[in-house]
Amino acid sequence: MKNWSAALQLLVVGLYVPLSLLIPTGIGLWLDRKIFHEFPLYSLIGLGVGTVIMVYGVYQMVRPFLKEDKKVGKENHVKQKGAKNTILINSGQKRSKKEG
C-alpha cells in the first residue's frame, strides 16, 4: 500500500509542474492581450512567477522522500559498518585458532 501512496504523490507532482507553469503564464497572456498589444511583459512575469511556484512546490512535495531516503541510507551505512567489523573479528578469531 505504501508504494501506491508514493506513486500517487509522484503523479500529483507530475500534474503540478505543468499547471503551475501554464496558469500564471495564461493569466499573463490574457493581461497582455487586454493591456499591452505588442510586448508580452505580463506573460514573461507570469512565466517567472510560475517557475518560482513550481520549484518551491516540487521541493515541498519531494522533501519527505529525500528525508526517508537519507534515513534509510544512514541505517544501511551503520549496518554495513557493523557487518565489516563482525567479519574482521571473526576472521581474526579463526586465525588465532589456527595459530594456537
Domain count, the chain: 1
- Residue 52's domain comprises 2-99
| Backbone phi and psi for residue 51, each to the nearest 5 degrees, phi listed first | -65, -45
| Average pLDDT for 64-79 | 74
Per-residue confidence (pLDDT) for residue 90, from 0 to 100: 55
Position 95 confidence tier, pLDDT thresholds 50, 70, 90:
low
- Give CA–CA dist 21/63, Å, rounded: 20
Per-residue confidence (pLDDT) for residue 20, from 0 to 100: 94
Largest CA distance in the chain: 94
| Average pLDDT for 12-36 | 91
Position 67 confidence tier, pLDDT thresholds 50, 70, 90:
confident
